[in-house]
Each structure stands twice: as structure tokens, then as C-alpha cells.
Amino acid sequence: MNCLLKPPEQQALLFRYLAGDLTGETLCSWQRHVASCPDCQHLVQSQENLEAILSSWQPPAISADFDQKLWARIELDRQHTQPWWLRYLSLDWGWRLAVPAALTACLILGFFVLSPAPEVMQAEDIEQVERMLDDLEALQALHPQPEDPRIQDSL
Amino acid sequence: MLRVQEGDDSSFALLLEKYRNPVIHFLYRMVQNQAIAEELAQEVFLRVYRSRASYEPTARFTTWLFRITTHLALNHIRDRRKHQLLTPIDSPSETFTSIQLADKELTSEQRLLMQARLAEVRRAIEQLPEKQRSAVLMHKYQEMDYSQIAGALSCSESAVKSLLFRAYETLRTRLKHFSPDGAGQKLD
Amino acid sequence: MKLLLPLILFAATLAAQPAPGKVLIERLRRMTPAERQRALARMSPERREALERRLNSLDRIQPGVRDSLQHDFESFQKLSPQEKSEFRRTLRDISELPAERRRIVRAAIHHLRKRPPLLHERILNSHNFTERFSEDERKLIRESLRYLEPLEATDLSH
């Protein structure tokens, strides 16, 4: 490749050109460059060909009952995620049962918090663990290593 | 999304209306199976609904949505690869309904050529490394900009430029023997 | 009124708990291999192995470094969502530097964390630093220092 532009810069300009984002002087400069650069002419042509080919791939129609199924899942999920003890407490038992009910709820909560991990972890919990590990590892990568150079300042 | 956080289901319905097609279409091109794409899309929107309380309005909603979508798509692809449950990508019914038909009637030969071209396009996309595939599909079909794609893929903008550069270069090479017209004629 | 007492008790119980992710990581670390395999049964084997490798790496961190890392992690958790997002972007940009530059930027961050915060800007703009670091690198150092707490200046030689 003999173009004076570096490939990622060349491509970035090309994308902007194909998307119609180049205007004014930038557009004129690009057009002048392409007129005199066989590499870029070839790139423009082949990328335009590729765009046309990719555009021919259209997805099938979406199922008519997609939304209906989704709302049904949301409703089911809502019912399952409300803890049974919260449903229990929201019943009209009167204030006489509030204290023992609260204590029972706390004991149950305490049991679930302190007890061993559930048999199978939910997907969201696993993702949360992975995200936390991402952050931990990123912070760990900032910790000094023996091979790091010495830094001094003049102050 | 902020109104959805306040418990406004009608706002969620509006979000769904706006993003349902882009999400499903993206998933379809990632996993190349419409039924699985819709199943994964259901999971995406269910998670959006569940996460509404913890949604951080600092990120653009599209970025956040496509981060979830890409994550689920990539997990599915990895799980499928491991369990070798590949659906043939050129199953006739999928291919036939995905062809963008020209206005004029096509001869059966032209139709066959178009199907062959489409199968090659799908294979070329499928063979891209996962991150390149995700980046190209978001850039080409969702028209997302570099910063949105970077947010969705949890990488820097310069990494996105690099991914797109490599992906498009590969696709140009792999598909250069097709002409750009709708008949799908091979040039050689 | 009938719900007030249980709600207060519930809120108090929640407030006493560390961040859920941290609890989950600790639980996973404490499990036997068989228990962990059961807990992670939903994951593909490849993904489960990757997660287990990462958890095992945590166990191999030396105690001194672990304390320091835990301290930084707890500070990180206290950041607002926007600050976390910005800091993650900075950490990502640092990780994408060439290896040699990454080492020197890391060393600079560590050095400056041991210097009084009031001197940071002067040091970053000093001839020594402007010669040694590009503007982008100094920006990354500056952003890291914004979110990382200062360290005790026990050893200025490193």
C-alpha cells in the first residue's frame, strides 16, 4: 500500500465519507486525495461493493406474538421475585401479628444471608461476580510490580 | 428509561417498540437463527425490565442495551460451540426469507446465485472473531458510532477502530468475488 | 403503621450487609471444588473454568498486596456510578498501553500516590515528567490519582 494515510485513519475517513459525514473542506480534501491515490480509490470501490453486499442480508420477520410472550414472562418474573414473606406481611393481619411476623422474617433473612451459597447460582449473580472480578483485576494491574522502573521527582 | 425506573410500564412499552427490531435483528445476525434470536431478545428485555432500578443514566441507553445484548449473544455462541449444537447456517427456509428481492422477477438461476451469495455473506460474518463480528454488525446494521460500540463491547474507541479495520478488511477479501448488483453474479 | 417495624428491621439487615457481589465472591472462594461446580452448573465449562482460574488467582495474591487491593477496591465501591464508569475507562486505556509504557505509567501513579496531593499537578507539569510522559499518559496518571486514595509515604525509593 502506497497511500500516505495510515490504514486505520484511511478507514475512519472512508467510513465517514460513506456515511455522508464529511463536509466542507474535509470532504474536498478527501476527494482530492482519492482522485490522486489509487490505493484509496480501490478501497472506496471495494468498501462500497462490500456495503452493498452486506445490505442484501435482511433478517426475517419477527413473530407477531413476541411482545405478548415478553409481557407474560415479565408478569411471571414479577410474581416469582416478590419474596413470600413480603407477600405475607402485606396481608391485613392487624398490628398484633406485626412483631412476631417481623422477627420471623428477619430470622428467615438471616438464615438465607448466613447460610451456604444456593445450590445453583443465577445468571445475574454470576455476571455480577464477573464484573467485580473485572474491576478487581483492573485495580490489581495498577499495583506496582518488581520490574517497574524507579520514578523520582525534583520537588 | 428514567420513567420506566419510576414504574411506568407504558414507557417500557415505548422502549420495546423502539428497540425490539434492532435488538432482534442484531441477535439474528450474530447467532444466525431467528428463533434463538427472539428467545435471546426476550431475555435482553426481561433483564432491562429487572434492572430498571439500578440503571445508571450516565451511559447512553443504546450503549447499555447493546452491552447486555452482545453479552447474551456471545455467551450463547460460546455455549453452542462447546456443545456442538450448530444449526446449519444455510438452511433453505432461513436463506430464502432473508433475500432482499429486487423489484424485477428473478430467474431461478438468479435466485440460486443470490442464495449462494447470502450463504457466503453469513459464513464470512460467522467466521469473524466474536468481537470483530459484534463490532461490524453494530457499525454496519445498527449504525452505532465508535463510542457507542466501545461502550457496548467494554473497550476503548481505538480498539473499536482496530476491530472494524480488521473485520472489514477480512470481509472485503472474502467477498470481493461478488459483484455489487442484486443478481449476485460472481465476477470470476 | 403495621408494616413500619418489619420494614425498619429489614432495612437494618440490608444496611449491615456488604455489597452483594463481594459476598458472592467470598462464598465462591470458600466452597470446595465440588460445591463450586454445582453452584456454577448453569455456565458453560469454558466459562466456568475461566471464572475458577480468576478466583484461584485471587487466592494467590500475597497478603500485603491483598490488603492494599482490598483498600483500593473498597474506595472504588464508594465512587458514584459515573465516577466508576470514568475510572473503568481510564483503567482500560492504561491496560491498552504498550507494555513498557504501561509499567512506567503504573510506577508514576504509585510514586505520586505517596506524594502530597497538592504537589501532584506541579510534579506532572515539571520538566522531568513532561519529558518522560506524553500528554495522554499524564492525563491517564492524573485521572487515576483522582480516584485512587493516597498511600503512606513509607518508602519514596519506589
Residue percentage of chain C with pLDDT more than 90: 15
On whether residue A91 sits in a domain, the answer given is: yes
CATH topology of domain B1-87: Rna Polymerase Sigma Factor; Chain: A (1.10.1740)
CA–CA dist A101, A94 (Å, integer): 11
Identical fold between B1-87 and B95-188: no
| CB proximity A63 to B under 8 Å | yes
CA–CA dist B170, A52 (Å, integer): 16
Contacts of B56 in chain C (CB under 8 A): 81-82, 85
CA–CA dist B173, A38 (Å, integer): 17
Name the residue among C46, C85, C96 with its Cβ closest to that of B78.
Answer: C46
**Inter-chain residue contact B82 with C44, CB threshold 8 Å:** yes
Average pLDDT over residues C61-79: 83
**Inter-chain residue contact B180 with A12, CB threshold 8 Å:** no
Which grid coordinates are listed for B156? Answer: 476503548
Q: What number of other Cβ atoms are within 10 A of residue B163's Cβ?
A: 23
Average pLDDT over residues B164-185: 76
HSE at residue B134, side-chain half, CA atoms within 13 A, is 26
Q: Which of A4-8, B142-146, C24-28, C107-111 has the lowest mean pLDDT?
A: A4-8
CA–CA dist B21, B102 (Å, integer): 23
Assess whether pLDDT exceeds 80 at residue A136: yes
Q: Which residue has the higher pLDDT, A116 or B171?
A: B171
Residue percentage of chain A with pLDDT more than 70: 70
- Answer yes or no: is the ipTM higher than 0.95: no
Q: What is the pLDDT of residue B167?
A: 92
| Closest Cα in chain A to C68 | A143
**Inter-chain residue contact B156 with C89, CB threshold 8 Å:** yes
Band (C106; pLDDT cuts 50, 70, 90): very high
| CB proximity A108 to C under 8 Å | no
Q: Which residues pair with B99 in a beta bridge?
A: A57
Using DSSP's 3-state secondary structure scheme, residue B186 falls into strand
Angstrom CA distances, B113 to A2, A82, B119, C19, C20, stand at: 36, 55, 10, 57, 55
Find the DSSP H helices in chain C.
4-15, 20-30, 33-39, 45-59, 63-77, 81-95, 99-113, 117-124, 127-132, 135-147
Assess whether pLDDT exceeds 60 at residue A94: no
Band (B187; pLDDT cuts 50, 70, 90): very low
Q: What is the pLDDT of residue B104?
A: 53
Domains of chain B by residue range: 1-87, 95-188
Q: What is the pLDDT of residue C24?
A: 74
Q: What is the pLDDT of residue C157?
A: 37
Cβ A117 vs Cβ C38: under 8 Å? no
Assess whether pLDDT exceeds 50 at residue B93: no
Q: pTM above 0.95?
A: no
| CB proximity B68 to C under 8 Å | no
Burial code of B114-143, b = ≥16 C-beta within 10 A, e = fewer?
A: bbebbbbbbebbeebeebbbbbbbbbbbbe
Assess whether pLDDT exceeds 70 at residue B36: yes
Band (C13; pLDDT cuts 50, 70, 90): very low
**Inter-chain residue contact C91 with A143, CB threshold 8 Å:** no
Cβ C39 vs Cβ A123: under 8 Å? no
Average pLDDT over residues A90-119: 57
Q: Which CATH architecture has domain B95-188?
A: Orthogonal Bundle (1.10)
**Inter-chain residue contact A143 with C110, CB threshold 8 Å:** yes
Domain extent at residue A89: 83-140
Assess whether pLDDT exceeds 80 at residue B49: yes
**C-alpha distance across the termini of chain A, in Å:** 49
| CB proximity B172 to A under 8 Å | yes
Average pLDDT, chain A: 77
Q: What is the pLDDT of residue A66?
A: 92
Q: What is the pLDDT of residue B80?
A: 75
Q: What is the pLDDT of residue B140?
A: 92
| CB proximity C81 to B under 8 Å | yes
Shared domain for A49 and A87, answered yes or no, is no
Assess whether pLDDT exceeds 80 at residue B162: yes
Average pLDDT over residues A12-35: 84
Q: Which residue has the higher pLDDT, B41 or C66?
A: B41
Sequence-distant (6+) residues with CB within 8 A of A87 are none
Assess whether pLDDT exceeds 90 at residue A43: no
On whether residue A121 sits in a domain, the answer given is: yes
Residue tagged 455489487 (cell numbers): B180
Cβ C84 vs Cβ A138: under 8 Å? no
Shared domain for A45 and A87, answered yes or no, is no
Q: Which residue has the higher pLDDT, A23 or B1?
A: A23
Cβ C144 vs Cβ C107: under 8 Å? no
Band (B131; pLDDT cuts 50, 70, 90): very high
Q: How many domains does chain A have?
A: 2
| CB proximity B159 to C under 8 Å | yes
Which of C117, C112, C143 lies closest to C128 in space, CA to CA? C112
Chains touching chain A, criterion 3+ CB pairs below 8 Å: B, C
Contacts of B85 in chain C (CB under 8 A): none
Residue percentage of chain B with pLDDT more than 90: 37
Q: Which residue has the higher pLDDT, A139 or A105?
A: A139
Cβ C78 vs Cβ C70: under 8 Å? no
Q: Which of A16-25, A109-118, B25-34, C60-69 has the lowest mean pLDDT?
A: A109-118
Average pLDDT, chain B: 79
Sequence-distant (6+) residues with CB within 8 A of A124 are B47, B50
Chain B with chain C: Cβ pairs closer than 8 A: 26
- For residue B100, what is the DSSP state? -
Q: What number of other Cβ atoms are within 10 A of residue A142's Cβ?
A: 20
Assess whether pLDDT exceeds 50 at residue B89: no
Q: What is the pLDDT of residue B39?
A: 93
CA–CA dist A15, B16 (Å, integer): 30
| CB proximity A52 to B under 8 Å | yes
Chains touching chain C, criterion 3+ CB pairs below 8 Å: A, B
Q: What is the pLDDT of residue B44?
A: 94
Q: Which of B34-48, B96-110, C22-36 has the lowest mean pLDDT?
A: B96-110
Residue of C93, C94, C136, C140 to mutate, testing the B interface (most B Cβ within 10 Å of its Cβ): C93
Q: Which residue has the higher pLDDT, A63 or B186?
A: A63
Band (C110; pLDDT cuts 50, 70, 90): very high
